């Protein structure tokens, strides 16, 4: 671990304001923040660049892209995890909750999806224990309630597995993200290459599976989150009824509510609202759901997730800072707010005593270039 790093002549994004000054990183924590444009001996001259907390990603599908770079191509997992870790570091993400699906469908030979989470989690945790990873990794178990094996898969995990989040995923056809069967048809037929007749069978089978096991699986996921000591999240809430059920379960945040009504209900119940940075940057949802910018303009957006584009997290935060006219507030959606939602009080803020997870950023119009990434005071990118 480096003894000390000083970043000076920096535009420091503090929790509630932006100042010009110097930040000192010593023995893995932030030990001093001072205002002014002086450059002490030995300091790095940031030339006015933004310096902010390292980004915190609660929900990303990025590891899946490295594990399966082409359909049915299973890439060596250690290499894939290391590449995923390096990519996140390169875009300023210093803490990630790697999303792994639990709950499989193995009886449908055409559109099945099998178990993988326990084995992949072991590989991630082994690499972490061997100090092979650049950034901080936790696990996010995506509990698929419309499945055949959720309870059995959840039982294979425990409190020592660094599970920070369990999210309730319900992809039953005709509701939530897939309430529009036209969108579901495009997704399933495109991904699995099935015919229209096979799609109709798939819909009927999944609906039957949900009716038979959905309630049992939802209860099992809620209980498992408590057993792991993990935060519970909802996913794709569409109406106030979904949100009320999430609140009953004790959900801390809602991933990607699909309507304004659901987001408003989250605010009523005190549930933090997460939206996708790709949705914000593209100007709308790729699946026809509510636009992230519309929620931001209504004060109904608390947390951003990069979802499937890691570099979108920083760009999205800067875009929100511009939209709101408050850069500290925009940056908080990818730092302090996700830290609070996930129960990580030691990071997400430039504050004395916090973890020295810090990034240096040069703005290039609406985009940004990373000039340095430090994790616990060590430069990793």
Residues 229 and 203 in one domain: yes
Tokens of residue 164, six digits: 């920070």
Any idea which residue has 């940031």 for tokens? 46
Q: Which domain holds residue 158?
A: 55-346
Tokens of residue 178, six digits: 């897939």
Task: Give the neighbor-by-neighbor strand order of the sheet with 136-144.
Answer: 55-60, 93-102, 136-144, 163-169, 231-235, 253-255, 272-276, 303-305
* CA of residue 343 relative to chain centroid, distance: 14
Q: What is the mean pLDDT of residues 204-224?
A: 85
User: Quick one: 64 and 37 in the same domain?
Assistant: no
Whether 146 has a pLDDT exceeding 90, the answer reads no
The domain that contains 59 carries what CATH number?
A: 3.20.20.140
Using alpha carbons, list the distances in angstroms from residue 211 to 73, 204, 217: 33, 11, 11
| 258-281 tens-digit pLDDT | 999 999 999 999 999 999 999 999
Percent of the chain with pLDDT over 70: 90
On whether both 19 and 153 belong to a single domain, the answer is: no
Q: Tokens at residue 118, please?
A: 């326990």
How much is the pLDDT for 315?
Answer: 97
pLDDT-derived band of residue 172, with 50, 70 and 90 as boundaries? Answer: low
Residues 37, 80, single domain; the answer is no
Please give the average per-residue pLDDT across 275-299, as a whole number: 93
Query: What is the C-alpha separation between 227 and 109, in angstroms, rounded?
Result: 33
pLDDT tens readout for residues 344-353: 999 999 999 9
- 49-64 average pLDDT score: 97
Length of the chain: 381
Q: Encode pLDDT of 57-113 as tens digits.
A: 999 999 999 999 998 899 999 999 999 999 999 999 999 999 999 999 887 655 567
Does 122 share its domain with 17? Answer: no
* 186 and 37 co-located in one domain: no
| Same domain, residue pair 66 and 48 | no
Helix (H) or strand (E) holding 168: strand 163-169
- Cα-Cα-Cα-Cα torsion 261, 316, 135, 128, nearest 10 degrees, comes to 40
**Looking at residues 106-127, what average pLDDT do you find?**
86
Considering the domain architecture, whether residues 17 and 115 belong to the same structural domain is answered as: no
On average, the pLDDT of the chain sits at 92
Specify whether 355 is located in the same domain as 300: no
Closest CA to 164 of 337, 343, 302: 343
Range 249-263 average pLDDT: 97
Residue 174, pLDDT score: 54
pLDDT given at position 106: 81
Examine the domain organization and report whether 185 and 245 are in the same domain: yes
Rounded mean pLDDT, 276-302: 93
Structure tokens at 381: 């990118």
How far apart are alpha carbons 257 and 241 in whole angstroms? Answer: 12
User: Are 134 and 9 within one domain?
Assistant: no
| 89 and 229 belong to one structural domain | yes
Confidence of residue 1 (pLDDT cuts 50, 70, 90): very low
pLDDT tier at 54, thresholds 50, 70, 90: very high
Instruction: Kindly state the DSSP code that residue 354 receives in the 8-state scheme.
Output: S
Number of folded domains in the chain? 2
Domain at 40, CATH number: 2.30.40.10
pLDDT over threshold 70, residue 312: yes
Tell me the per-residue pLDDT of 182-196, one tens digit each, with 9 for 90 and over: 665 666 555 556 666
Predicted local distance difference test score (pLDDT) of residue 350: 98
């Amino acid at each position: 671990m480096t003894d000390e790093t000083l970043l000076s002549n920096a535009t420091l994004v503090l929790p509630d304001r932006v100042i010009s000054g110097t930040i000192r990183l010593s023995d893995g924590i932030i030990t001093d923040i001072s205002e002014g444009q002086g450059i002490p001996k030995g300091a790095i001259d940031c030339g006015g660049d933004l310096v902010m907390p390292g980004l915190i990603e609660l929900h990303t599908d990025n590891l899946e892209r490295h594990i399966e770079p082409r359909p049915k191509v299973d890439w060596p997992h250690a290499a894939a995890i290391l590449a995923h870790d390096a990519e996140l570091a390169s875009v300023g993400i210093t803490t990630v909750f790697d999303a792994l699906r639990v709950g499989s469908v193995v009886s449908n030979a055409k559109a099945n999806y099998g178990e993988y989470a326990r084995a992949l989690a072991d590989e991630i945790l082994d690499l972490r224990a061997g100090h092979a990873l650049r950034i901080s990794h936790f696990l996010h178990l995506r509990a698929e309630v419309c499945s055949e094996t959720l309870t059995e898969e959840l039982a294979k995990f425990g409190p020592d597995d660094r599970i920070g989040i369990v999210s309730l995923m319900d992809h039953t056809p005709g509701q939530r993200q897939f309430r529009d069967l036209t969108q579901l048809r495009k997704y399933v037929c495109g991904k699995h290459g099935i015919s229209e007749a096979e799609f109709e069978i798939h819909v009927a089978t999944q609906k039957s599976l949900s009716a038979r096991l959905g309630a049992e699986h939802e209860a099992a996921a809620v209980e498992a989150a408590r057993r792991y000591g993990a935060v519970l999240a909802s996913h794709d809430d569409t109406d106030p009824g979904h949100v009320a059920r999430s609140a009953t379960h004790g959900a801390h945040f809602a991933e990607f509510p699909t309507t304004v009504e659901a987001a408003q209900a989250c605010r009523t119940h005190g549930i933090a609202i997460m939206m996708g940075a790709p949705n914000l940057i593209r100007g709308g949802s790729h699946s026809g759901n509510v636009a992230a910018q519309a929620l931001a303009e209504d004060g109904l957006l608390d947390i951003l997730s990069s979802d499937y584009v890691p570099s979108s997290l920083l760009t999205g935060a800067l875009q929100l800072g511009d939209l709101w006219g408050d850069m500290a507030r925009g940056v908080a959606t990818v730092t302090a707010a996700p830290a609070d939602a996930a129960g990580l009080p030691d990071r997400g803020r430039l504050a004395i005593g916090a973890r020295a997870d810090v990034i240096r950023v040069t703005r290039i119009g609406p985009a940004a270039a990373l000039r340095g990434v430090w994790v616990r005071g060590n430069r990793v990118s």
